[in-house]
Amino acid sequence: MNALRILTVILLAASLNAAGAPSLSVTPDRTKVALGEQIVLTVKIESANDLKGAPAIKLPDSEHYSVVRSSGPSRSSMTQIVNGKVSHSISLTYTYHIAPRKTGAFTFPALSIKLKNQTLSSQPFRVSVTNKAVKNPDVKVYLIAGKRTCYVGEQVHLTLKVAKKANSAAELVREGFITIIDRISESLGRGFSVNALFDRLPEATAERIEGEVYHVFKLHYALFPQRSGAYTIRAIPFQYVERQRVRSRRGIDPFFDGFFGMRDQIRQVPKTVLTSTITFTVKSLPPGPPSFSGAVGKFRLEADIQPRSVPTGESATLSIKLAGNSRPNSMGEVTLPDLSSFEIFTPEKHAWQDTTATGIHGRKSYKYLIIPKEAGDLAVPPVVWTYFDPDAATYTTLSSDTFHLRISKGKDGGKQSSTRYMTQAEIREVGKDIRYIKTVTDITNQPTKPYTNPIFFILYPLPFLLGLFSALYKVQSGRSKDEAAGLRQKAARRAFKDIQAIEKEQAGLSFKEMLSRIAGVIERYISHKFGFSATGKMLGELKQELIDRGIAEKVVSDLTEYIEQMDRYRFGGSSPGENDKSEMLAKTRSFVQQLDKSPKKERGA
């Protein structure tokens, strides 16, 4: 028992020491002031170890400011246990009030201290001092464009950012958001396709703007220019209200007015703030090659033929997949190479559109049934597809590999297989050749004893047969339900098995290939576990489906953010780090565990 206690203490100490490196930070309450006003600085030393030996912090003398007063240090500690890991932090906080001595701009220097043979430093920051009183507006509205110069068909990200100062008298109203959203669409509707990447007002996040804390709402749009030219979003008014306190009498009776005196009332005063003006320059696409599909953005192409070995007269499947940062209907179509040695059937097509805060990502898939006409070794030329890359301002051609098929002799001895299967043209002709035979029958006398008619003996067992078929149908229906229940029970086990397979192969997989397989694992798990198809659903729809099935909203929100992160890696051009493969697999396993347990907790609540 003593040995166990000693081991526990050692492990706890090791976890505390690894919790985090010490740090020094300086945070101003604002960075823009008038002469005569003060700036409050919060200086914090934070470490996972004891800070008993931490030196006192003294601000350096400066010609730009004077220290009015100071307080501290105040000591605080916090211990957290997350996923079985213990993290412990201790902090010392100092507060300083400084007053600028002259107008102009100056840099508050970085502070440095030595803590146990380690030097800690803060970050410097700029301060602006003016003669006039500085008051940041209660509400700020920004329009932020990812690009101002773009090409026809290119996706451009636009963000509407509404910021309200914390603890201000301003109050944002729904009508203000509706008006500005409509005006954005009206301003660009003639030259752009405007796609909102939101279905409801997002939750506010805290952000420091010019040294003050604001509550910020961000609404994202995907813009697709339709034709070249210059387009302008002029300043758009955003409406909000300001709550003002006014004095008024309590009643209309002078006696009670004099006795009770005045009372306070809250009045809402309409206010307006304008956005900045944004101008877009849309350029036409340069002349493209014959293979240009019409798609603009960044894309990837995958193609495969399975099986690679078939007898004459039997079919193989040519699968083609396209994915990129555009809408599926803007990606054009695929042109097949020369396949004169095959009979080609009309493809099975599917299209998906994923809408996230980062933009619209489209996917298309084609499955062609191809039947070789003769035996031998056949080479299928590569599938070629061209798109315009706006970042490089050039056309890029994607190409698959050349596929080699081994066609063996079928039952017909490898002869021309036209006698073994029908072409598409022949299939259409069959429908035209169908003719119905019509005969004229006379009315005959029916016998008085129906059981003497042979038809009676044919129809007599019919009710019993219907009952038998009904019973068989119920049995089959029960089996289907049992199969669905089996899929639900095995969903997590199958997902963990797939994740383990990816882990074994991750060294030979590219990052995008691994993420594509992870996405398949998540979609298959959700489909089997909850009984609806997750493939092709927009993130908003997927989120609502899971919440409706009793999954905790926090788990669903974290999952959709994780899917957005994977989409940024797969389609948005984000660069992964060295350890991201293992982290992604660990996150996937964690989400499967949370989704598998969440419904049970909800039912037991």
Q: What is the pLDDT of residues 457-515, one digit of tens each?
A: 677 777 878 888 787 777 666 665 666 677 777 888 888 888 888 888 877 777 778 88
Give the model confidence (pLDDT) of 46-98 as tens digits.
887 777 777 888 888 889 998 888 887 888 777 666 555 666 778 888 889 88
Percent of the chain with pLDDT over 70: 78
What is the Cα 419 distance to its own chain's centre?
52
Structure confidence at residue 441 (pLDDT): 55
Band of pLDDT at residue 223, cut at 50, 70 and 90: very high
For strands 139-145 and 125-130, give the pairing.
Answer: unpaired
Answer positive or negative: Cα dihedral of 321, 324, 329, 331.
negative
Highest mean pLDDT among 392-396, 443-447, 510-514, 552-556 belongs to: 392-396
What is the Cα 500 distance to its own chain's centre?
25
Structure confidence at residue 543 (pLDDT): 81
Nearest to 596 by CA among 550, 542, 563: 550
Query: If you average pLDDT over residues 541-548, what whole number do you get?
Result: 82
Band of pLDDT at residue 12, cut at 50, 70 and 90: very low
Query: If you average pLDDT over residues 145-170, what whole number do you get?
Result: 91
**Which part of the chain has CATH 1.20.120?**
486-604
Q: φ and ψ at 123, to 5 degrees?
A: -100, 135
Sheet holding 229-233, edge to edge: 149-151, 278-283, 229-233
Distant-in-sequence, close-in-space partners of 161: CB < 8 Å, separation ≥ 6 = 140, 141, 142, 143, 144, 216, 217, 218
Going by CATH, does the domain composed of 14-130 fall within 2.60.40? Answer: yes
Across the chain, mean pLDDT equals 79
Residue type, position 59, single letter? L
Helix (H) or strand (E) holding 69: strand 65-82
What is the Cα 281 distance to its own chain's centre?
28
Nearest to 222 by CA among 574, 571, 566, 554: 571
Distant-in-sequence, close-in-space partners of 19: CB < 8 Å, separation ≥ 6 = 48, 86, 87, 88, 89
For strands 212-225 and 192-196, give the pairing.
Answer: antiparallel
CA 67 to each of CA 27, 40, 57, 106, 126: distance values in angstroms, whole numbers, following the listed order = 16, 10, 13, 15, 17
Whether the model clears a pTM of 0.85, i.e. scores above it, the answer is no
As a CATH number, domain 486-604 is: 1.20.120
DSSP 8-class letter at 335:
B
DSSP 8-class letter at 392:
T
**Which part of the chain has CATH 2.60.40?**
14-130, 297-419
CB atoms within 10 A of CB 524: 17
Structure confidence at residue 364 (pLDDT): 93
Highest mean pLDDT among 248-252, 334-338, 432-436 belongs to: 334-338
Residue type, position 201, single letter? L
Q: Which two tokens stand for residue 73?
A: 């240090």
Strand partners, 281: 149, 230
CATH of 297-419, one of 3.40.1130, 2.60.40, 2.30.30, 1.10.357: 2.60.40
Strand partners, 479: none
Lowest mean pLDDT among 43-57, 332-346, 378-392: 43-57
Q: Where are the beta strands (DSSP E) in 297-375?
A: 299-306, 309-311, 316-324, 342-344, 348-356, 359-372
CA 123 to each of CA 27, 43, 95, 112, 213: distance values in angstroms, whole numbers, following the listed order = 9, 11, 17, 10, 19
Structure confidence at residue 603 (pLDDT): 41
Structure confidence at residue 367 (pLDDT): 92
CA 11 to each of CA 18, 46, 87: distance values in angstroms, whole numbers, following the listed order = 11, 22, 12
Query: If you average pLDDT over residues 402-418, what whole number do you get?
Result: 69
- Tokens 């526990």, residue? 8
